[in-house]
Amino acid sequence: MRRALHLEPNAHLKQLAEISDTEGSLARTYLSPAHRRAAQQIQQWMRDCGMETWVDAVGNVHGRIKAAHDAQQTVLLGSHYDTVLDGGAYDGALGIIVGLAAVKGMLLGELMQRGTTGRLPEQLESKDGDVVIPPTLASSLLRFGSVHLVAFADEEGVRFGSTFLGSRAVAGTLLKYNMLAAKDRAGASLANVLREEAGVADPWVAAASLALEPGSISEYVEVHIEQGPVLEARGLPLGVVAGIAGQTRLWVTVNGTQGHAGTVPMRGRRDALAAAAEMVTAIESLCLQPEEQGGAPEEENLVCTVGELKVWPGASNVISGSTGFSVDIRSKTDPVRMRVVKEAVRAVEAVCARRGVPCAVDRKHDAEAVLADADVMEAMKAAAEAAESILKTTLTEEELSRHGGLLEGLRKVPVLVSGAGHDAMAIAEAVPRMGMLFVRCRGGVSHSPLEHVEPEDVTTSAAALAGYLWGRVVSGVMGPVRGEQGRDKTEL
C-alpha cells in the first residue's frame, strides 16, 4: 500500500512535471511534443493499473476497467494533463495521478483483504518498482461497477483561448460550443489542427462520436488542488466541493487614433490605452462594491479580473491606436454574475461614448455555476474521514504527524466552493452526479512553478479516493452505483 498510495503517486507527479516543452519551467500545451509524450506516459501508468487504454480523436487519454460482473454503471474519474505556461506540477496532474493511485490502491486493498496472509499475492509483477496489475485480475475484482479515468487533453485553453476542450469532447458538447472553429495564435482552427496535427480525417464526425454514451456514467469525481488558501489556513488536508462558481470571459477591444506622443496635443486625443485603463478600474470597482451599496454579498464569491492587456503598437512614443483586454467575472450564483457582466459592459460603453473611441465586446466564454451532488459529497466526506485506517498502514508515524496532524485534519473535512473552473463543470452537462475533492496546496498558489502539494497530502487524497471507489465499485458498502438521476437503489 505504501508503494501504491504514497511512493508511486509522488514519484509519478515528479516524473510528469519533467515532461515539458520548455527547459527549466513547465509548459505542456495542446498537442505539443511534451503534451504527446505525457499522454504516452499516462497510458503506460493506466496499463499498469490493469486498465484498457486508448487516446481519442482530440487527445484525451482514457483508461477503463470494465467490471467482469453484470454491472452496468461506471464511475468516471478525470482531470487534465495540459498546463498553463510556466505552470506547476499539480494543477490537473494531481487528479490523474491520484485517480490512478486510488484505483491501484483500491484493487490491492481488496486483494489483501481476500488473501489469508494480509499481503499481496506474489505473482503481481513489478516494473521499475511499480506494481503492475493484470487486466483480467483488475476486472474480476469489480463487483458493483466499472471504473473509467480520463486524462483530458486541454482544460486550461492556452492554445485556443477556450477552456474544457477535452472534457467537452467527452461530455458531447464540443459542437454545441462551436469549439472546432476556435483559432490558435497562428490562426489555425481546432478543426484544421485536428486534421493536420492529429490525423483526424473529419473532425466534425469525430467530435460527434466522442461523447460518452448517455446514461452509462453514474457519477463523475475529480480530485484537484484547491488553488486557494482556505484548507492550508485551517490546517486541513482535504475539502469536499459544494459547487463551482460560474464564469464569464470577455474580450474588449478599444479603437483609438494612433499618433505621435510628442506632436499630438493632449486635448482631442483618442488614446485607446488611456480609455482601457479607465474601463479596467471601473470593472474592478463593480466587484469591490460593498453589500450596503448594492454590491454582492461576500458569500457570493464575486470576483472581477482584467489579467491580459494588449497594446498596439506598444511603443513609448506612440499614442495607442488599439488596446484589447480580457475580463473575467465569476460568482457562486448565475444571476449575480449575469448582472455584473451587464454592468461591466455598460461601464465599458459609457467610457467609450464619453471618450469617442469605438469599442467592441466579445463574449469568449460562459460557464454556468454547477452544484455538486449531495450524495456524492456525503460519500466523499465519509471516505475522507475513513481514510484514517488506510493511512495508518501507508504512512509512518512521523509522516502522519506532519502538517498539524493528518488524521486530526480528516475529522473535520470542510465544504468549499470552487472559484476556479474545472473539467467537472463540462462533464456535469452530461453526468448530473458530480463531486470534487480539494487537496491543500502551499500558500494557495497555482498556475505557478511555486505550486506545491505535500507528499503526505497527495497520499491522503489517494487514500480517501481509494476508499470511496472501493465502497462504490468493489464492496458496494457506499451504496450501489446509481443510474440516471432519480433512479433509486431499489430499482437496480
Under rule CB under 5 A, residue 92 binds Zn ion: yes
Under rule CB under 5 A, residue 154 binds Zn ion: no
Under rule CB under 5 A, residue 109 binds Zn ion: no
CB 239 within 8 A of CB 419: no
Peptide bond into 313 cis (omega under 30): yes
User: Helix or strand or coil: residue 372?
Assistant: coil
Under rule CB under 5 A, residue 423 binds Zn ion: no
Q: Which is nearer to Zn ion, 156 or 429 (CB)?
A: 156
Q: Which is nearer to Zn ion, 144 or 152 (CB)?
A: 152
Rg of the chain over Cα atoms, rounded to whole angstroms, equals 24
Q: Which is nearer to Zn ion, 226 or 388 (CB)?
A: 226
Under rule CB under 5 A, residue 78 binds Zn ion: no
Binding mask 317-336 for Zn ion (x = CB under 5 A): --------------------
Beta strand segments in 236-375, E: 238-244, 246-255, 259-260, 303-305, 309-312, 318-319, 322-331, 359-367, 370-371
Q: Rounded to the nearest whole angstrom, what is the least distance from the CB of residue 438 to Zn ion in the complex? A: 11
**Taking the CB of residue 199, how many other CB atoms lie within 10 A of it?**
8
Q: Which is nearer to Zn ion, 25 or 393 (CB)?
A: 25
CB 180 within 8 A of CB 174: yes
Q: Rounded to the nearest whole angstrom, what is the least distance from the CB of residue 238 to Zn ion in the complex? A: 17
CB 403 within 8 A of CB 237: yes
Under rule CB under 5 A, residue 222 binds Zn ion: no
Q: Rounded to the nearest whole angstrom, what is the least distance from the CB of residue 250 to Zn ion in the complex? A: 22
In 150-164, which positions are buried (b, 16+ CB within 10 angstroms) versus exposed (e)?
bbbbbbbbbbbebbb
Under rule CB under 5 A, residue 110 binds Zn ion: no
Q: Which is nearer to Zn ion, 91 or 154 (CB)?
A: 91
Q: Rounded to the nearest whole angstrom, what is the least distance from the CB of residue 387 to Zn ion in the complex? A: 23
* Separation CA 481–CA 486 (nearest Å): 13
CB 445 within 8 A of CB 84: no
Under rule CB under 5 A, residue 256 binds Zn ion: no
Under rule CB under 5 A, residue 87 binds Zn ion: no
Among 8, 91, 328, 343, interactor with Zn ion by CB under 5 A: 91
Under rule CB under 5 A, residue 82 binds Zn ion: no
Q: Rounded to the nearest whole angstrom, what is the least distance from the CB of residue 82 to Zn ion in the complex? A: 9
With residue 76 as reference, give the H or E element that holds it. Answer: strand 74-80
Q: Which is nearer to Zn ion, 81 or 470 (CB)?
A: 81
Q: Which is nearer to Zn ion, 108 or 465 (CB)?
A: 465
The residue count of the chain comes to 492
* Residues found near Zn ion in the complex (CB under 5 A): 91-92
